Structure 1
Amino acid sequence: MAQFETQHLIIRPLRPTDHDALQAMILEPQVVAYLRYRSIQTPAQFTEVFKTHFLADAKTVFGLERKSDQRLIGFYEFHDEANTGVLTYALSPSAWGHGYVAEAGQALMSYAFETLHYDQLEAHYASANPRSGRVMAKMGMQDFGEMDTFTLDNGELIHVMRYALSKKTWLGTKSA
């Protein structure tokens, strides 16, 4: 099981003791408003996903623990799609705006390309959340524009934007 340290974070596999902190994040509507986890509405639904996904895949799912207080503040994961690692990440609202996602992303680039052997990393964000796009740019990803649209239950039309980084580009940047 891989574990990484950055200036502010310990990036590690999730543990059973992370259940409550992660549940609080996933059941917070503003945290998951545009994520694949927005359909999880109850503690029972979360517990099932926690067991079958968050705990089951220590190779591609990581907790973000803040060093200063050893508190789980978020997660970061890779979803496999034909030699591409599609990123999903979320932070508790109290951790927003501190650069933690970009810090974790930078630390996980080598792991994604060299250990998981992805040819490309990709991340998507809702145009209603432009801060997420700025995080992707900070991680060195390139803007590839709109890839899809969907409508939220409240009728809001969401434009899904795509950022990507190829292994070749990453290697060139890394060696520069």
Structure 2
Amino acid sequence: MKIWQMNFELDCYDNLEPVHNLTVDELQSFDGRRHLNNWTPLRVMRMEPEKGLELSDAPGFILPVFSRRALDYLKPLIAPHVEVLPLSFDEGEFFAINVITVLDAVDYQNSVYKTFRDGKRIMSFKKYAFHESIVAGVPIFKISDERVRYAFVSDEFKQIVEQNKLTGFVFRLVWESNMAR
């Protein structure tokens, strides 16, 4: 089993950004909390239209963002673990992906991380290790120590992206179950 950190290609494609900046509190509310019931489509715009770059299937900004095409392929896999939040954009259908599955899955004994001075809160991870029994079968999730940071995805998620030639996704291998053995 492999777990990948999902990110987005920022150099070869244009990306999206909110027309009006979100406050720190608004950004931090994407920590596994649900938003769909009170969601008004967020107005977004191209980040660097002057470069003339295409938009990818994952023109991420502060949240994962998927095109309609990417959503059509990935939604059957990820639906129970995310909220699909429509964005308001004149050039096509794009959706913010609010990851609502937050797992206490870190194997701290086999992870390498740096804590804040209090020695309790984690500042950053240098190496992730997960409890396989917790992450098995979960295609997309966040971890309780990094609720507003990266989403992690399974091999199955990555394979769907690759098989369907979805653009703009970047994956970094962060854990393999046999790495811990």
The structure that is helix-richer by fraction is 1
- Do the two structures share a fold, i.e. TM-score over 0.5? no
Larger RCO, structures 1/2 (Cα 8 Å, 6+ apart):
2
Which has more radius of gyration?
Answer: 2
With the length of structure 1 as denominator, give the TM-score of the two structures: 0.28
